[in-house]
Structure 1
Amino acid sequence: MTAQQLVLSLVLATMVFSVALEVKPADFARVATMPRAVVCGLVPQFLLLPVATWAATLVLDLPPSTEAAMILVACCPGGSLSNVVTHFGRGNTALSVSVSAVAALLALFLTPFNFTWMVSTNPATAGWLRTLEIDPSDIWWSLLALLALPMAAGMALAHLRPAAAARLQPPLSRFSLVALAAFIVLGLVRDRALLGPQILPQLAVVVLHNAAGLALGWAAARAFRLGTADRRAVMIEGGMQNAGLALGIIAVQFGADLNMVIIASLWGIWHIVSGMTLAFVWRRQDARHAV
């Protein structure tokens, strides 16, 4: 792990900790009594978006590397960042955390399976077929260090020292907003060599692809007749893919193909923009309704 990755991991763990200060065990108890909502959150990530992406690549005449990257990103479920965005958007944070935890485990099997058969059945990408070998330690590290431990620590502090948690939560929440903005800026700086008019077609692909993920999450939540908070959580889970996992796979198993790197990098930046935009829109809606 590079120094930059370590710093970003610590920031993300802090963000999850700040979210946990407002999450109660009773929230997870309610989710446990409604497994239908968890299943609904998994459907867009492992079924709807991957299949829709695969179908789109069959119709569109895009470079094979772009299509392979789209399929790969669609097959990588969201990480703990989606929990933070859901919390800011006043969605069901406990549901988001539960979906992320289950998705992280399922990704060990379903991400390689989905990618392999989708790429192999597309004539344009069949030559890009690789048997993905996802290192389980990457998944376990993300699940334990970036989600489980900070979530448990935050909930424990809120239970044992509620007054201290109440004082700590506002500044940490503001820090989280700044950190999310920093993710975007750092991503732009890091990938500045890739930015230019020549990437506008790839950016358009990423924006539309991400919009499809959000829309499919919304459609699944509507089909399952979930409430507003649950619907927001499922929508964010459907539209925030683990671009970091995709970049790692591209680096190791596709020789850091430039076109694939551009798609995954743009995803990593854009899904934060779209997710936070939705969160702010939802907060404004709630404020208007409260008035």
Structure 2
Amino acid sequence: MNNTANLTSHQDLWRNVTVGNTTWVYRPAVNSALNDAISAVVIIIIIINMVSLGCTMEVSKIKYHIMKPKGVAIAVVSQYVIMPLTAFCLAKGFQLSDITAVSVLVCGCCPGGQFSNTLTLALKGDINLSIVMTSCSMLLAMGMMPLLLYIYCKSFPSVRNAVPYVQIILSLVLTLVPCGIGILINTYRPQYSKRVTKVGMIILLIFTVVTLTLAIIANGRYILTVLSPSLLAIAGLMPLIGYCFGYVFSAIFRLSLEKYIDRSLSLYIYRERQTHRTVSMETGCQNIVLCATILKVAFPIEVVGPLYLFPVVYFVFQFFEAAMIIMLFWCYQRFKKKEKGKTCASPGEVGESPTKGLGNPRD
């Protein structure tokens, strides 16, 4: 039995005719062959993405953080509490139609993506912790994502019993296979890991452009639905809230306190803030490839329409907001470096830096 048959599309979204008192249903602008082609390309993209992600995972580091799980626990709570709750509140606040709200919720309930590792590197965060956080959130997604969707979708009458949980779980399970292949490559053939990741990113970029082109052709004028003011506002607010709350949440629990309490105060502060930046990026960055795949493959095209492209809009805001944060961080570092230089050059200064012999921590 297909529960998604109970879903009805929003009048203002999928309007094809102008007859009163009609339940409006989206109809693709082209035949089903092109729609199937898009689904196939999306599946290829998620396979490439997950193999690349697996190539960044190291079993030894995952084991280490599992034995000392405080950092991972805080990141998981940030990922699966802050983002789903943010998506739910925004969907309610902007009074989205049920199917549109579900699309936003799927994005909010997704695990962290590989892009967060790149952003963590740019922010001089803890890259090892970032990779472990991404790995753990991906593994937990099999249980957490369907559970969270079940909880939050109760507030939307027409989708309460219509979300295809089985298809979503199957999609998540299938993503673990290419991820496992990537882990095996990194474990037994580590010399190929970087090459696989680089080639994978190039192919991923090409296939993404192909998918967007096919999607625009297939959806025609309905593509503007994804660019509605409410969805643009949500796509802009979600990652920003994730970045901010991730940092604050990590700071509240004073992540990394037990690791650096015996070191110099300066180095401790640096390490602590480094970890806060890592959790911030992990919280705000969603796996938009996985999100788009679930919306495209698990939901019928007549139901979801072009909303499977919402993750792309989210990614644009996710990228530019992160870029702004990185630029501000770099400017702050330059300013601190100049201030430190002036202080060191001032006459009458005595004593040595408390971090001598411990490296050169940068805030």
Give the TM-score, by structure 1 length. Answer: 0.72
2:120–2:126 contact (8 Å) kept in structure 1: yes
Judged with a 3 Å threshold, the aligned counterparts in structure 2 of structure 1 residues 154 and 262 are, in CA distance, closer, same or farther, namely closer
The correspondence for 1:221, drawn from 227, 234, 250, is 250
Q: Which whole-Å CA distance do the structure 1 matches of 2:186 and 2:123 have between them? A: 19
Task: Tell me what 1:270 maps to.
Answer: 317
The correspondence for 1:127, drawn from 151, 158, 173, is 158
Task: Tell me what 2:23 maps to.
Answer: none
Q: CA deviation at 1:238?
A: 1.0
Tell me the C-alpha RMSD between the 2 structures: 4.0
For 1:1-291, what aligned pairs fall within 5 Å after superposition? Answer: 2=40, 6=44, 10=48, 13=51, 31=65, 34-121=68-155, 125-129=156-160, 130-131=162-163, 132-134=165-167, 138-139=171-172, 142-143=175-176, 145-146=178-179, 150=182, 189=213, 192=216, 199-201=227-229, 202-226=231-255, 227-256=272-301, 257-258=304-305, 260-286=307-333, 289=337
1:184–1:269 contact (8 Å) kept in structure 2: no
Task: Tell me what 1:161 maps to.
Answer: none
Q: Which whole-Å CA distance do the structure 2 matches of 1:31 and 1:212 have between them? A: 26
Q: Which whole-Å CA distance do the structure 1 matches of 2:334 and 2:202 have between them? A: 22
Q: CA deviation at 1:74?
A: 0.8
Q: CA deviation at 1:207?
A: 0.7
1:95-152 CA distance string (max 9 Å, x none): 112122221222111111111121112xxx2202324125556445545634x66567
SS at match of 1:133: helix
Q: Which whole-Å CA distance do the structure 1 matches of 2:295 and 2:236 have between them? A: 20
Q: Which whole-Å CA distance do the structure 2 matches of 1:221 and 1:187 have between them? A: 37
1:195-227 CA distance string (max 9 Å, x none): 659824122221112222222212211212231
Q: Which whole-Å CA distance do the structure 2 matches of 1:229 and 1:42 have between them? A: 18
Which amino acid in the other structure matches residue 319 of structure 2?
I
Judged with a 3 Å threshold, the aligned counterparts in structure 2 of structure 1 residues 196 and 276 are, in CA distance, closer, same or farther, namely same
Judged with a 3 Å threshold, the aligned counterparts in structure 2 of structure 1 residues 177 and 225 are, in CA distance, closer, same or farther, namely farther
Q: Which whole-Å CA distance do the structure 2 matches of 1:149 and 1:54 have between them? A: 34
Answer with 1 or 2: which has the greater Rg: 2
Judged with a 3 Å threshold, the aligned counterparts in structure 2 of structure 1 residues 173 and 99 are, in CA distance, closer, same or farther, namely closer
Using the TM superposition, name which of 278-287 and 55-64 deviates more.
278-287
Q: Which whole-Å CA distance do the structure 1 matches of 2:330 and 2:174 have between them? A: 32
Using the TM superposition, name which of 183-192 and 262-271 deviates more.
183-192
1:137-188 CA distance string (max 9 Å, x none): 6445545634x66567568888xxxxx99xx98x999999988987986676
Q: Which whole-Å CA distance do the structure 1 matches of 2:226 and 2:177 have between them? A: 39
Q: Which whole-Å CA distance do the structure 2 matches of 1:272 and 1:140 have between them? A: 27
Identity of aligned residues (%): 17
Task: Tell me what 2:345 maps to.
Answer: none
Give the TM-score, by structure 2 length. Answer: 0.60
2:125–2:275 contact (8 Å) kept in structure 1: yes
Q: Which whole-Å CA distance do the structure 2 matches of 1:225 and 1:274 have between them? A: 25
2:86–2:108 contact (8 Å) kept in structure 1: no
2:226–2:307 contact (8 Å) kept in structure 1: no
1:203–1:263 contact (8 Å) kept in structure 2: no
Which amino acid in the other structure matches residue 234 of structure 2?
V
Q: CA deviation at 1:268?
A: 3.7
5+ residue gaps, structure 1, are 159-163
Using the TM superposition, name which of 125-134 and 226-235 deviates more.
125-134
